[in-house]
Structure 1
Amino acid sequence: MTKPVLGRYWHTVTFVVAVVALVLQLALILSGDNILDSTAAAGRAEQVRRYFSYFTIQSNFLVAVSMFLILRDRTDNQLFRVVRLASLVGITVTGIVAFVALPPSPNYTTGSLVCDRLLHIVVPALTFIGWVAFGPRDRVRREDLLPALIWPVGWLVATLALGPVVDWYPYPFLNVSQIGVGRTLLNCVLIAALFLGLAGTALWADRRLDSARATMDA
């Protein structure tokens, strides 16, 4: 099996896993089987709204979109490059934060636990490994860095603005009511720095990997 064919299979699996995990998680919420925030007695509509508010959900959705564009060979435009970079950085942050600071809730049902591991571990691993091993290469450019950061920065701003209104924050490290404004803002700065650092690393690594491939093919 050639590398391009293997890469296509890999990206297909990544797309399928991301979509299945997203749909299954939403189906569990709609069926009442899963409560994303077990500390709040939220109604079904609020639970659905919270579902779409999670950074994990949005980053997995962007991964699915970027995989779809790759499989459809729609990669020769800035829209793809920005979505691909944003999804790569976002899903990497998702995996890192989940591994370091967000263990699965002991209140999860079996279905919820499966979704949690797929969204937080499996999809991040598949995406990162697929990018390193199969590319596509030369899809990270300097002019794409700032556009790719619009989504995560916008998510942070929207989360902090909406939090006091609905009295809910998707993650404890952004919960102003519990940790205070100063600590929250510090966490936001650290998160933004992590995003920028990962995006810059992706730019550097993409060029190095492209050069390595060119050397091997020479």
Structure 2
Amino acid sequence: MQGWRTSPAAARWWHVVTVLIIAASLITQLVLVFQGTNVLVEDGEEAPGTAMRVVNFFSFFTVQSNILLGIGAAILALNPRADGRGFRVLRIAGLIGIAVTGVVYVTLLRDVVDLEGAAAVTNVGFHYLAPLLGVVGWLLFGPWPRIDLRVVVLSLAWPIAWLAYTLIRGEVVDWYPYPFIDVIEHGYGRVLLNAAGITVVFLAVGWLFAFGDRRLGDRAGSPDLPRTR
């Protein structure tokens, strides 16, 4: 079992499958967005134009976290022992993002929309398969150790930037990707409180990954964190 877990070939195949599922979900959903199908608007509302739908699609934290995880998995498919400061930040940002995506969706968003057909399939890819493949793949294949406090802090720059972008754009276009961050419905006080709660979740998940990274690295007999550029 240990040999299978440390096999570069097994790691590559796992990461390839991760990339393929994320890519298939992204492409399929993007086609639906262009077609004006399942554009995530309330019943009775007029669907926005194509350009707006595409921008809205890429404004979802779920989509961005899947993209980051997919890029990291693609790098690892080419080199299962990839390293470097930039890669570490990218990797942990994708892992934290996809883990939070899965948790928030299951606990808060699962019943918000009623999807059918291809949209329901891509929803499974985005919110169930990608988080599962990402986290389990990291537990099985690492690479570890790759996470320290600086990496975790740098990885949080993306969700902070996403929040700022979402609030500023929401003021302009009157659209927010998730109910708990909808200023029109809740006001800034409640939205900022919700954001603070999600931030705590991010910090907790980041700490879990950092703790697990060190423990898994020690168990696998990995050396201390190498110096990176």
Q: TM-score, normalised by structure 1?
A: 0.93
Q: Which structure 2 segments of 5+ residues have no match?
A: 223-229
Q: Aligned pair 1:67/2:43, yes or no?
A: no
Aligned pairs (5 A) from 1:1-218: 2-3=4-5, 4=7, 5-39=9-43, 40-41=45-46, 42-73=48-79, 75-103=82-110, 107-214=114-221
Q: How many residue pairs are counted as aligned between the two chains?
A: 215
Name the amino acid aligned to 2:50: R
CA RMSD of aligned residues (A): 1.7
Q: Percent identity?
A: 37
1:3-61 Cα deviation digits (max 9, x unpaired) = 32222211111111011111111011112233122454212221111001000000000
Higher deviation after alignment, 100-109 or 18-27: 100-109
**2:12–2:78: 8 Å Cα contact kept in structure 1?**
no
**2:65–2:98: 8 Å Cα contact kept in structure 1?**
yes
**1:56–1:91: 8 Å Cα contact kept in structure 2?**
yes
1:94-149 Cα deviation digits (max 9, x unpaired) = 00011111115554230111111110111101101101111111111222111101
| CA–CA separation in structure 2 for the residues paired with 1:98 and 1:107 | 13
Secondary structure of 1:35 counterpart: coil
**2:11–2:77: 8 Å Cα contact kept in structure 1?**
no
Counterpart for residue 226 of structure 2: none
Q: Which structure 1 segments of 5+ residues have no match?
A: none
**2:147–2:210: 8 Å Cα contact kept in structure 1?**
yes
